[in-house]
Amino acid sequence: MEPGLVAIVVMLKAPKGVWGLIRDRFDLDLFPLSHRVRRKD
């Protein structure tokens, strides 16, 4: 019962998940997996 309650509270408070909350709060990016497009000049 308690793990389910914790999961619901985390889902409501941090829709991006726990890692998203940490990443947004501390501007921390350990695994930069986003695709970045480079422009040729």
Is 13 within a domain? yes
Cα–Cα distances (Å) from 32 to 2, 3, 16, in that order, read 33, 30, 16
The total domain count for the chain is: 1
> Which of 19 and 12 is assigned the larger pLDDT?
12
Find the mean pLDDT for residues 7-31. 84
- 4 has pLDDT over 90: yes
Is 6 within a domain? yes
Quote the Cα angle for 38-39-41, to 5°. 135
The pLDDT assigned to 14 comes to 85
Is 24 within a domain? yes
Domain membership of residue 11 as a residue range: 1-29
The pLDDT assigned to 5 comes to 94
Is 40 within a domain? no
Query: What is the rounded average pLDDT for all residues in the chain?
Result: 82
